[in-house]
Structure 1
Amino acid sequence: MLADTSKRLQTYELTIRELNEEDIDKLHELSVAVRWPHRPNDWKLLLSLGGKGFVGCDPIGRIVASAMWFPYGDDFVTIGMLITSPKLQTLGAGRWLMKHVMRECSGRHVLLNSTKAAYRLYESLSFRPIHKIYQHQGIATPSVGVPAPADTQIRDMEADDLESILALDFKAFGLNRSNVINTILEHATGTVLVRSGSIEGFSFCRKFGRGQVVGPIVATNNDDAIALTAPHVSRHSGTFLRVDTSQQTGTFKDYLIRSGLAEYDTVTTMTNDQFEPHQGDVTCYALASQALS
């Protein structure tokens, strides 16, 4: 049961309650107000993943703030979709919502991707930075001559590939994200890289915001990641495409820029303890989404 369900922000009275699917249209209005690209279907997808959340409402029931969290098992959670309407952003609404979210996430490892505007808030709540995420987006322009690496095959995903994809995602992220992968696949097309008969990388592409987003992309090296991304760039040539990557430099980032996806913005991956995404021989080159990592 929620405690501390109302708060006065100067002359503004705010109440908090649990977020539900009936709120989607109002949540969409909120995200539009702060120029986030999420469509109603993007909010619906987040809820279908088992995401939980709170909304802050004004005295006549309008949603003016939101925050969500996404459990992975019993000991890990990601936090995202912390939004406050512009008129409340300096009045402590975000901090109040985070107080309730952190109470729900108590005892778990927490990972989040912070916008520039929210960074100081998260820092004051004892989150520390891990690395940057670079948001690349633009009108896709296929690069000429992106051959598959030697001795590999790039093909569309098949149903029998799922077990290998889940195993690769676990190696790249260090957590079981089968619920995320399975749910996103209901809305995405998939590409896999096969080497010596084994799947060694994959990428998904789905509708999001202004166009399409490519992610997650999981691969062992830059060349493989490029080869996994190229089919989606070609398929959506001339339309809006987005990739959120942790690659600060290198040939994969160069490829995105060459393909019309300029660096648009950055967020900072942060954690509340010593947890870090798995660093091994398989890398997550692009996020599923900033809310999910």
Structure 2
Amino acid sequence: MPLSHPPLDRLPIRRLGPDDLLACADLSENRGWPREEHKWGLLLAAGVGHGIDDPSGRGLLAACVVTSYGPGLAAIGMVLVAERYARQGVGRRLMHHVLAEAGDTPLSLYATSNGQPLYEELGFTEIGRSEMLRGHFTAAEPAPGRTVRPATAEDLQDVLRLDHEIFGADRTHLITRLPAFADHLRVAEQDGEITGFAALWPNMDTHVVGPVIARDPGTAQALIASLAAATDRPLRTDIDTGHTGLLTWLKANGLEHIATNAVMLRSRAPLPGDRNRRFAPLTVAAG
């Protein structure tokens, strides 16, 4: 006689940690996403994972990660439900759990077209769009002249101050991990002042460009061009669609449109920070 299992709405939701990395990667693969073990490692270390174990012993039934930036903002990402349990209310239940834990904390996320209706039902509002690009950077259209160099340990405090000013919340727990997480970290400077920074980190067969924080689009272009020159892999990045000039420049340099996601917020207040100087997230999963 087959074993009986509790109904899906009674299965416990538990915290996930670094030991769950491979199970999270397996879940990604089950849904047709890349395994992205390197990214999962960062998210599980810097954020809080929530998961439901499959009662049949086949790993995780569902998972997501919440990255907190203090009482003013948290980001939800990597909301996944195993294919065999899809369309049975599991994702909704996991989201209700996360919302209950968050309380009044404003929440942001990037939503696919499939997930957006659920998030709208849960009180999220679309505040913008983000375009994912991928391709080999050709450097056919040069970047404006800016001073860009590898970041050093002495730059960290200035980078953290600039990031806090532009992101609008404290990302120290993520930014301080960039030197170990990324293959390259660059800063732009003018007259001894750091005016932007960007990272290039490995993800499967690509290098992801993100975050990109810069004083202006020309500085963002210079940072990206410097990072692109450091790799032979295809680049991948997510750019706010409001940055039309940067998107046009990237496409002129060989990157192609892959997908567009909705940037969504659940809050009475607007998204903190300055979106005019936020050009790309570290990863959409972390906001």
Identify if the C-alpha distance between structure 1 residues 278 and 97 changes in structure 2 by more than 3 Å, giving closer, same or farther: closer
**1:227 correspondence with 2:222:** yes
The code of the aligned residue for 1:166 comes to L
- Structure 1 stretch 18-27 or stretch 262-271: which is displaced more? 18-27
Per the alignment, residue 165 of structure 2 pairs with 171
Per the alignment, residue 18 of structure 2 pairs with 21
| Deviation for aligned residue 1:280 | 4.0
- Structural mapping, 1:1-293, within 5 Å: 7-8=7-8, 14-49=11-46, 51-62=47-58, 63-148=60-145, 152-188=146-182, 189-237=184-232, 239-248=233-242, 250-278=244-272, 280=274, 283-293=277-287
- TM score, norm. by length of structure 1: 0.89
The code of the aligned residue for 2:87 comes to T
- TM score, norm. by length of structure 2: 0.90
| Deviation for aligned residue 1:282 | 6.0
Per the alignment, residue 3 of structure 2 pairs with none
Name the % identity: 29
Per the alignment, residue 3 of structure 1 pairs with none
C-alpha distance in 1 between matches for 2:274 and 2:111: 24
- For structure 1, list consecutive stretches of 5 or more residues without a partner in the other structure: 1-5
Identify if the C-alpha distance between structure 1 residues 191 and 126 changes in structure 2 by more than 3 Å, giving closer, same or farther: same
Instruction: Determine if contact 1:193/1:202 at 8 Å carries over to the other structure.
Output: yes
The code of the aligned residue for 2:90 comes to A
- For structure 2, list consecutive stretches of 5 or more residues without a partner in the other structure: 1-5
| Deviation for aligned residue 1:141 | 2.4
C-alpha distance in 2 between matches for 1:209 and 1:268: 24
| Deviation for aligned residue 1:106 | 1.0
SS of residue paired to 1:217: strand
Instruction: Determine if contact 2:137/2:255 at 8 Å carries over to the other structure.
Output: yes
| Deviation for aligned residue 1:21 | 2.3
The code of the aligned residue for 1:202 comes to F
SS of residue paired to 1:22: helix
C-alpha distance in 2 between matches for 1:18 and 1:74: 20
| Deviation for aligned residue 1:15 | 4.5
| Deviation for aligned residue 1:202 | 1.1
